[in-house]
């Protein structure tokens, strides 16, 4: 039976104050459960490093509190349950039993759940940072009960909730942040396109972006640089021309067209007598990021895409130009005598050391390190365990990154 109190007595107001405190405390715990637990560690780290000044301060205060998420969750739920269980006890001393149930349900539902969770869902970061010291105290108070339960949850569910997006999800998120999506995003169309292209670059291989060998222009190493050949090179408008021996699938190097400026067509100099540079060889299934890294080495901005044939030899194509051919062991497979380059050549003629951001690049003046030294007696068919199937250039990789065609001065295209 409920005990009746004088509505003007001190004890009555004490009970009313306790009820108000319990409702507010339960509402705070309920709101923090939603507000703090909805903030992942990744979100908080992003805000702490690149958010606004106010967000960085709030995130720095909250991060130590939410680092152990299961312990925090158990603490908030224990405090919330204790407040809600204690509320009917104090109400029962003021009103009848059915009145206590009705009032407690109404107070908890309205002031302990709906309003706090609505507010904390929108301002959870600021509220969480403000009451972070209080939450720390509650964690220590509830530690004997909350810690064993949290360790059990860590064992059963894992001690961390990964909130990182997968590649496809991240692409969708970037598109939603574009100003074309109409959701208030700040990214332009070009920015979202480039980011999406960068995310797709790992999934694309050399075969997806190469130019098939049948569509490329290449010259035989045994031809002479007469007027006909020089005219063909000029009409193509390329800055680099692949060189093959005997058949087009046997690409042995590349010549720079600018090196032909000093050659007179009437001299009909053999192609093998001009400067022929080494060209990287990459497998058809090599990701474009790996190919981009090969191009960054500075050996060449063009590479040969090769396909391995299912034969007995265990060849490895790493695309690196620092390759030694053992004449004694493989006399049939060699095309040319290749000397191992002593330096990695980078095209920075105006300075010995150039830096961009955190990268430091060194430039060597040994521009002959990547030049083939051809001996007539050593020109034999390339090994049969691999064959060239296409050409891939730096421009092809950049087009995949930009997801748009790059037209230079010699490209011919029709406006749709």
The pLDDT of 242-270, averaged and rounded, is 86
329-352: per-residue pLDDT in tens?
Answer: 333 333 333 333 333 333 333 333
What does R_g of the chain's alpha carbons equal in angstroms? 36
**Band of pLDDT at residue 1, cut at 50, 70 and 90:** very low
**What residues contact residue 189 under an 8 Å CB cut-off, 6+ apart?**
178, 179, 180
In percent, the amount of the chain with pLDDT more than 90 equals 7
Based on the number of CB atoms within 10 Å of its own CB, is 308 exposed (0-12), middle (13-18) or buried (19 or more)? middle
Both tokens assigned to 396: 């092809």
User: Residue 411: pLDDT above 70?
Assistant: no
Mean pLDDT comparison of 6-10, 133-137, 372-376, 410-414, highest-scoring range: 133-137
Based on the number of CB atoms within 10 Å of its own CB, is 241 exposed (0-12), middle (13-18) or buried (19 or more)? buried
User: Residue 42: pLDDT above 60?
Assistant: yes
Domain boundaries, the chain: 10-157, 167-198, 204-402
Report how far apart, in Å, the C-alpha atoms of 249 and of each of 106, 179, 287 are.
82, 47, 22
d(CA 401, CA 60) in angstroms, rounded, equals: 36
Of 84, 87, 64, 72, residue with least CA distance to 142: 72
304-319: per-residue pLDDT in tens?
Answer: 888 877 654 444 434 3
User: Residue 405: pLDDT above 60?
Assistant: yes
User: Residue 36: pLDDT above 70?
Assistant: yes
**Band of pLDDT at residue 364, cut at 50, 70 and 90:** very low
Instruction: Give the residue carrying structure tokens 């939450």.
Output: 135
DSSP string computed for 393-412: EHHHHHHHHHTS----TT--
Both tokens assigned to 36: 């703090």
Residue length of the chain: 416
**What residues contact residue 293 under an 8 Å CB cut-off, 6+ apart?**
none
User: Residue 326: pLDDT above 50?
Assistant: no
User: Residue 10: pLDDT above 80?
Assistant: no
**Buried b / exposed e across 198-225, counting CB within 10 Å, b at 16+?**
bebbeebbbbebbeebeebebbebeebb
215-244: per-residue pLDDT in tens?
Answer: 888 898 888 988 999 998 888 888 888 888
Q: What is the pLDDT of residue 135?
A: 92
Q: What is the pLDDT of residue 383?
A: 59
**What residues contact residue 138 under an 8 Å CB cut-off, 6+ apart?**
75, 76, 79
Mean pLDDT of the chain: 76
**pTM for this predicted structure:** 0.56
d(CA 49, CA 41) in angstroms, rounded, equals: 12
d(CA 121, CA 134) in angstroms, rounded, equals: 19
CB hemisphere CA count around 343 (13 angstroms): 12
d(CA 59, CA 69) in angstroms, rounded, equals: 15
d(CA 336, CA 374) in angstroms, rounded, equals: 5
Asked if residues 70 and 153 have their Cβ atoms less than 8 Å apart, the reply is yes
d(CA 377, CA 411) in angstroms, rounded, equals: 39
Strands 240-245, 219-220: pairing kind: parallel
**Band of pLDDT at residue 301, cut at 50, 70 and 90:** confident
Task: List the CATH code of the domain at 204-402.
Answer: 3.10.580.10
d(CA 287, CA 323) in angstroms, rounded, equals: 21
Please give the backbone phi and psi of residue 187, each rounded to the nearest 5 degrees, phi first.
Answer: -75, 140
132-187: per-residue pLDDT in tens?
Answer: 999 999 999 999 999 999 999 888 887 665 556 777 778 888 888 887 777 777 88
Which residues pair with residue 282 across a beta bridge? 305
């Amino acid at each position: 039976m409920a005990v009746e109190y004088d509505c003007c007595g001190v004890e009555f107001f004490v009970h009313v104050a306790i009820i108000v405190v319990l409702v507010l405390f339960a509402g705070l715990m309920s709101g923090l459960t939603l507000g703090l637990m909805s903030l992942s560690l990744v979100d908080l780290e992003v805000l702490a490093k690149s958010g606004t000044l106010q967000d960085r301060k709030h995130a720095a205060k909250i991060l130590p509190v939410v680092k152990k998420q299961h312990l925090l969750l158990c603490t908030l739920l224990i405090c919330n349950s204790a407040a809600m269980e204690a509320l009917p006890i104090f109400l029962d001393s003021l009103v009848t039993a059915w009145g206590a149930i009705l009032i407690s349900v109404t107070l908890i539902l309205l002031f302990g759940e709906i309003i706090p969770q609505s507010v904390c869902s929108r301002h959870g970061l600021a509220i969480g940072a403000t009451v972070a010291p209080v939450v720390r105290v509650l964690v220590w108070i509830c530690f004997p009960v909350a810690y064993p339960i949290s360790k059990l949850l860590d064992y059963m569910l894992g001690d961390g909730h990964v909130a990182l997006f997968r590649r496809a999800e991240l692409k969708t998120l970037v598109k939603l942040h574009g100003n074309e999506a109409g959701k208030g995003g700040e990214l332009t169309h070009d920015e979202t396109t480039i980011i999406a292209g960068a995310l797709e670059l790992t999934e694309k291989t050399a075969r997806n972006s190469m130019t098939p060998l049948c569509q490329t222009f290449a010259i035989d190493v045994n031809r002479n640089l007469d007027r006909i050949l020089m005219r063909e090179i000029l009409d193509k408008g390329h800055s680099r021309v692949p060189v093959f021996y005997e058949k087009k699938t046997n690409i042995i190097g590349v010549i720079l067209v600018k090196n032909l400026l000093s050659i007179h067509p009437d001299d009909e100099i053999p192609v093998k007598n001009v400067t022929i540079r080494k060209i990287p060889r990459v497998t058809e299934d090599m990701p474009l990021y790996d190919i981009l890294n090969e191009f960054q080495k500075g050996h060449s901005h063009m590479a040969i895409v090769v396909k391995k044939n299912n034969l007995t030899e265990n060849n490895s194509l790493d695309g690196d130009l620092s390759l030694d051919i053992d004449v004694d062991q493989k006399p049939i497979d060699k095309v040319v005598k290749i000397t191992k380059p002593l330096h990695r050549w980078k095209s920075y003629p105006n300075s010995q050391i150039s830096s961009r951001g955190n990268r430091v690049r060194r430039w060597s003046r040994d521009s002959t390190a990547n030049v083939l030294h051809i001996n007539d007696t050593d020109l034999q068919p390339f090994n049969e365990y691999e064959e060239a199937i296409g050409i891939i250039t730096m421009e092809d990789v950049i087009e995949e990154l930009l997801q748009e065609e790059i037209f230079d001065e010699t490209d011919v295209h029709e406006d749709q």
